[in-house]
Amino acid sequence: MAVFTYKASDSRTDVTGTIAADTPRQARDLLRERGLIVRDLIDYAPAREGKAAVRFLRPGRLSPRPRRGMRHQATTFIRELSTLLGVGMPLLEALETVSRQHRGRFQSSIILLRDRVSAGISLGAAMREQPQVFDGLCVNITEVGEDAGTLDTSLERLAEFRERSEQLRSRVGTALIYPAIVTTLAVVASIFLMTFVVPRILEPLIEQGMPLPFPTRVVKGLSDFVLVWWWLIAALVVGIVATFSAILRTPAGRMGWHRLLLKLPLFGDLVRKQAIVRIAVVLGTLLKSGIVFVRALQIAQRTTSNLVLRDALARCEHAITAGGDIADALEQTGAFPPMVVQIFSLGQQSGRLEEMLDRLATAYDQQVNSAAQRLAAILEPVLIILLALGVLFIVLATVLPILEAGNAIG
């Protein structure tokens, strides 16, 4: 389905706007049904987007996973829509207002939502037609809110969850940016010294037949190896990356990689707690919206990226469906810490599972933030020291023979 901009007139005034339709003919027919006389109708194509904007709106043409840029825009849209609905604005008018707040592809998506809702389908069903923008959690909570008559409240909870997830992802990413930059600079600096600086400095000393110190012999051997076999090193790097990517594309490979991530010192605990925060927030949000626990557990599985924890949730779902206890099912998976199991147990016994999950998410959110800061605090000095030692070794390997040559001349 594409979006078209039109210029038309009714019995009193000229109007302009946008409309979603499969073909220009269908768009003209829809406008005539509204009592409008169409004067101009063109494809809606934002600047620098071209036909890609129309292709974007066709379900199934793109990956069903929302893109990162679209994820943030969708969160802003949900927050704005919940605010407008909360003050009593009708849904169609709220969608029209929010569409004017955005540009480009995402504006086209909102326009398509508005036109599909005006055609008589629900907002959740309209979102389901655009999986490249709205994920399953967004669709399910929207549908629950529409069924219960609390769409504004459901969208507000959804916006809070998405904002919380983005903040968590941003904190972890920020903590790892500096170590990644230092590591990259260390590799680039070492390659530059080994291939350009060291050979030019050592060449005259070697021609004079002077004995080289041990650090110099090590650096020269590495430098000669890099200069002669650089193509082999490049091929090995490409081969390793390609092999690793191929392994990750297999279910067993992804499962093994995710299991390894959870076992890494410091980083594994960070990954586990980050995933548990997301699971707790998703379950709490869905339970508050009126979704039964088993259904909420199924949705939480699809929003969990780590396959080990996703498999644990699936086994928990099967155990609960068979009549088991929630806490016992979680404990049997062995993937969740005792604190998480105990909170589920207390929440089930007291009937306040949603409140308990909120507290769990808050506590683990703080722990993830502290763990990310500790990880950055540990990695930064360690990487700086390693970089300094590497550069110092290369400098010594270069300076020592020069000093010895000076002493011999003296």
Residue 134 · residue 66 · CB < 8 Å = yes
Sign of the Cα pseudo-torsion (342, 343, 344, 348, in order): positive
Residue 353 · residue 332 · CB < 8 Å = no
Exposure string for 356-376, b = 16+ CB within 10 A, e = fewer: bbbebbeebbebbbebbeebb
What pLDDT, on a 0 to 100 scale, did the predictor assign at position 53? 37
Mean pLDDT for back-to-back runs of 10 residues, the chain (410 residues): 71 71 77 78 51 37 51 88 90 89 84 84 87 83 80 84 76 71 79 76 72 79 83 92 92 91 84 86 79 85 86 88 83 86 86 86 82 76 82 79 64
What pLDDT, on a 0 to 100 scale, did the predictor assign at position 264? 86
**Residue listed under structure tokens 């929207």:** 142
Task: Please tell me the distance from the alpha carbon of residue 15 to that of residue 8, in angstroms, as a whole number.
Answer: 5
Residue whose C-alpha is closest to residue 316's, from 290, 345, 349: 345
What pLDDT, on a 0 to 100 scale, did the predictor assign at position 188? 82
- Residues composing the chain: 410
What pLDDT, on a 0 to 100 scale, did the predictor assign at position 44? 55
